Chains A and B, each alone.
Chain A
Amino acid sequence: MLGRTAGGLYWMFRYLERSENTARLIEAGFRIALTRSGRSAEDWASVIDTAGARAAYAGRGGRMEGGPVIDFLLRDRQNPSSVLSCVEAARANARMVRTALTREVWEATNECWMVLREALRRPVREPDLPGVLGLIRRQNALVRGALHGSMLRNDVFDFARIGTFLERADNTARILDVKYYVLLPSVSHVGSSLDNVQWETVLRSVAGERAYRWLTGGEVTPRGIADFLILDGRMPRSLAFCVGKMAGNLGYLERQYDMRHPCHDRIAALKAGLDGTTIEAIFERGLHEFLLAFLSDNAALSAQIERDYRFYG
């Protein structure tokens, strides 16, 4: 496979994953805005922070209100992480790697782009928002389904999956980091209504609120949430799950090509770091420090994969 094709697949799936994450984040913000009164500016500011877009949003001069924030995250072409930007970038990459995709995956991606571009042609009115957000998730699910149902399990598949999980791990770690102070065990905050809402934001933005309640019997504790999102290998958006998947796909590449690269050492170290730790140890070291280190390792892994498999040169 061409290095450029591998890169295109990787980015196609990173962008698709990002579009879905952004949609989930909006959903969490919207739901919280609906279910409580007051402090809505703070809530939307926190959504913008979680999207890692505070500077970009400030640059656009938008106010911290539902309408403009949602429009920025859904449709703003100046915002590279908006759903529209992501879907367009994913589709451009898919066109570039068209020969590596089955017709089903290409058509699902092309349709995803056509449907969402149409749905996002104009600002989305509040009554239509739940429908549009559902549409974004569904279109993503169709691409994922086509990928699973029609693609050979070879290097093409591996690069697509590595892109997905690298983006997802980055997203989960960022959400946690923006909210790390909420999760820090602090006497004055635990149990207050502020905390509950913030936790809910965290869990909802990774679509984990039901799973978490189901697993813990509804006991919401900062440690419990952090453990769930960092170390629980059953949770498909946790860091441990994503890292485990990347290790698997990079391992397949190593065997298929019969070539070991520096990225294999990096993923092994990342995985060993998660496998060999506990949530207590993480809190002891400092959750923020832990997450910063993870984000930086994850980014370094991405850069190493790009080099090792000659994405650009």
Chain B
Amino acid sequence: MTGRPAPFDEMTGGGEGPRPPYRDYCAWFGAEPIARLRRKAAEAETFFRRTGITFNVYGDAEATERLIPFDIVPRILSGREWARLARGIEQRVRAINAFLHDIYHRQEILRAGRLPLALVARNPAFLPQMIGVAPPGGVYTHIVGVDLVRTAEDEFFVLEDNARTPSGVSYMLENRETMLQMFPELFTRVRVQPVQDYPMRLRRSLEAAAPAACPGRPVVAVLTPGLHNSAYFEHAFLADNMGAELVEGSDLRVVDGRIAMRTTRGFQPIDVLYRRVDDDFLDPLVFRPDSLLGVPGIMDIYRAGGITLANAPGTGIADDKAIYSYMPEIVEFYTGEAPILRNVPTWRCGEPDALAYVLDHLSELVVKEVHGSGGYGMLVGPAASRRELAAFREKLTANPGNYIAQPTLALSTVPVLTRAGLAPRHVDLRPYVLVAPDRIDLVPGGLTRVALRRGSLVVNSSQGGGTKDTWVLED
């Protein structure tokens, strides 16, 4: 990445002293002996291990439970910066829900010619089973994770929307918990907006989206694929902190037209199911017949309005990477406003002109699979070897419609604590958005992921990324 301008550093902004949001923190940091900080960092790891905050790595038989590395230097946003982001996120999430409702009902956006029909009709993320279905409260995406990156003081881009089952919120909460335990004195010095009530806000938001026929306080449960799922810790964590049951498919069945869980006192109906099982596995009668993770018949109950599924099936059409490139149009179409948050310029490789450009500039671009996630199957051009580029070129020409390409953004950096002291590393930000029938709720902050290798732009935990506590200041 020679010849490029230095990326925007959120602590210094390229200047001499710290930027305003970091001023108090830096004053504290400057007075701390580095040895003490290093000891604290080691303590943090012990804390995570003891609490069992681990994730499972697929295809790694030896160390099946791993820690996501945690860096003790917080990522700090001012209240003003956050307020602007929050407005943009809210707008985008409102548009996503309106889009989902439209695409499964009248499809106005297709009629208006603002989105190519083929993009929806031939998209495996589009579920015909959802056509005409009215989810309780009209909510499709009860929880959304919007991945943001920053390139300059006032430049934020949405990298992708996670409208299916965004994960990582438990790390946001545990990171804060860890910081509070390790550096209580910091939080008396710097006023940080709290995030710890996220689970209760999630519960309230889910309850508000319960089926209309639900009498009294809704029964909420979290559906997990089980112990071996990579995010099992998070499923248990959220169920625990919401006071909801953590259920598996084998605990559930249809009883008298409801989905009910097998308890020590018999079967008890569930009103709202926060499911962390993918659409494909949700109902073997409708989707994959070999699935043991779901509940036979749940889609019938859902379509009859007997249960709320969060998120609704079929929301993947909204976070599809090919659809992503149309998000500015989608936001404008449904909100009548110009998008507050910018999209990263995107080439759809299925279009011949775009493909030609991408093939010509492969070494400068990031190329992603349209349906991929987790940083798997993507090419980071500037970091790729000649051989990797050639291999990817072959995959790309064989199936261009499967890829999109974006410029490599100069992602902002935030320092991490290394052996040699502070060193800048690239970060992104995933705020978590809760959607209820009558409002959209955001906890201030989100999960900051950081690429721990010097110069790396890949922040995914499955690819050597770590996390930081994210602070939004009380201005």
Residues of A within 8 A of B (CB): 1-6, 92, 95-96, 98-99, 103, 106-107, 110-111, 114, 155, 253, 257, 259, 309-310, 313
**Given A2, A95, A103, A259, which contacts B262 in the complex, CB threshold below 8 Å?**
A2
Chain A residues within 8 Å of B246, by CB: 98-99
B188 part of interface (Cβ distance < 8 Å) = no
Report yes or no: A114 in contact with B49, Cβ–Cβ below 8 A: yes
Report yes or no: B247 in contact with A2, Cβ–Cβ below 8 A: yes
Q: How would you classify the secondary structure of chain A's contact residues: helix, strand, loop or mixed?
A: helix
Chain A residues within 8 Å of B51, by CB: 103, 106-107, 110
For the complex, count residues of B whose C-beta is within 8 A of A.
Answer: 22
Residues of B within 8 A of A (CB): 49-52, 227, 232, 236, 239-240, 244-248, 250-251, 261-266
Quick one: given A99-B236, A99-B240, are A3 and B52 in contact (CB under 8 Å)?
no
Report yes or no: B265 in contact with A2, Cβ–Cβ below 8 A: no
- Closest residue to A259 on the B side, CB-wise? B265
- Closest residue to A114 on the B side, CB-wise? B49
Q: How far is it, in angstroms, between the C-alpha of A1 and the C-alpha of B247 when the chains are bound?
A: 10
Q: Which 10 A-B pairs give the minimum distances between C-beta atoms?
A: A98-B236, A309-B264, A99-B240, A99-B246, A3-B262, A110-B52, A99-B239, A6-B264, A1-B264, A310-B262
Q: How far is it, in angstroms, between the C-alpha of A96 and the C-alpha of B265 when the chains are bound?
A: 20
Chain B residues within 8 Å of A92, by CB: 227
Chain A residues within 8 Å of B264, by CB: 1-3, 6, 155, 253, 257, 309-310
Chain B residues within 8 Å of A98, by CB: 52, 236, 240, 246
Q: How far is it, in angstroms, between the C-alpha of A209 and the C-alpha of B388 when the chains are bound?
A: 70
The smallest beta-carbon distance between B232 and chain A, in angstroms, is 7
Q: How far is it, in angstroms, between the C-alpha of A5 and the C-alpha of B49 when the chains are bound?
A: 23
Q: How far is it, in angstroms, between the C-alpha of A107 and the C-alpha of B261 when the chains are bound?
A: 27
The smallest beta-carbon distance between A312 and chain B, in angstroms, is 9
Chain A residues within 8 Å of B49, by CB: 114
Chain B residues within 8 Å of A313, by CB: 262
Chain A residues within 8 Å of B236, by CB: 95, 98-99
Chain B residues within 8 Å of A106, by CB: 51-52
Q: How far is it, in angstroms, between the C-alpha of A100 and the C-alpha of B250 when the chains are bound?
A: 18
**Given B50, B232, B239, B263, which contacts A310 in the complex, CB threshold below 8 Å?**
B263
Which of B51, B52, B250, B266 has most chain A Cβ within 10 Å? B52
Q: How far is it, in angstroms, between the C-alpha of A181 and the C-alpha of B262 when the chains are bound?
A: 46
7 A-B pairs within 8 Å (CB atoms) are namely: A2-B263, A2-B264, A92-B227, A98-B236, A98-B246, A111-B50, A310-B262
Q: How far is it, in angstroms, between the C-alpha of A2 and the C-alpha of B252 when the chains are bound?
A: 10
Could you list 17 further interchain pairs (A-B, Cβ under 8 angstroms) beyond the known A4-B251, A5-B245, A106-B52?
A1-B264, A2-B261, A2-B262, A3-B262, A3-B263, A95-B52, A95-B232, A96-B227, A98-B52, A98-B236, A98-B240, A99-B240, A99-B246, A110-B52, A257-B264, A257-B265, A313-B262
Chain B residues within 8 Å of A4, by CB: 248, 250-251, 262
Which of A92, A98, A99, A313 has most chain B Cβ within 10 Å? A99
Q: How far is it, in angstroms, between the C-alpha of A111 and the C-alpha of B47 when the chains are bound?
A: 11
**Given B227, B251, B263, which contacts A95 in the complex, CB threshold below 8 Å?**
B227
Chain B residues within 8 Å of A114, by CB: 49-50
Q: How far is it, in angstroms, between the C-alpha of A3 and the C-alpha of B232 when the chains are bound?
A: 19
Report yes or no: B262 in contact with A99, Cβ–Cβ below 8 A: no
Q: How far is it, in angstroms, between the C-alpha of A3 and the C-alpha of B248 when the chains are bound?
A: 11
- Closest residue to B239 on the A side, CB-wise? A99
Chain A residues within 8 Å of B247, by CB: 2
The smallest beta-carbon distance between B401 and chain A, in angstroms, is 42
The smallest beta-carbon distance between A257 and chain B, in angstroms, is 5
Chain B residues within 8 Å of A155, by CB: 264
- Closest residue to B65 on the A side, CB-wise? A95
Report yes or no: B245 in contact with A2, Cβ–Cβ below 8 A: yes
Q: How far is it, in angstroms, between the C-alpha of A4 and the C-alpha of B49 when the chains are bound?
A: 26
Q: How far is it, in angstroms, between the C-alpha of A36 and the C-alpha of B118 when the chains are bound?
A: 85
Report yes or no: B251 in contact with A3, Cβ–Cβ below 8 A: yes
The smallest beta-carbon distance between B364 and chain A, in angstroms, is 45
Q: How far is it, in angstroms, between the C-alpha of A313 and the C-alpha of B264 when the chains are bound?
A: 10
The smallest beta-carbon distance between A127 and chain B, in angstroms, is 28
Chain A residues within 8 Å of B52, by CB: 95, 98, 106-107, 110
Chain A residues within 8 Å of B250, by CB: 4
Q: How far is it, in angstroms, between the C-alpha of A257 and the C-alpha of B232 when the chains are bound?
A: 30
Chain B residues within 8 Å of A253, by CB: 264
Q: How far is it, in angstroms, between the C-alpha of A63 and the C-alpha of B232 when the chains are bound?
A: 42
Chain A residues within 8 Å of B266, by CB: 310
Chain B residues within 8 Å of A259, by CB: 265
Q: How far is it, in angstroms, between the C-alpha of A313 and the C-alpha of B252 when the chains are bound?
A: 10
Q: How far is it, in angstroms, between the C-alpha of A188 and the C-alpha of B406 when the chains are bound?
A: 91
Chain A residues within 8 Å of B239, by CB: 99
Chain A residues within 8 Å of B262, by CB: 2-4, 310, 313
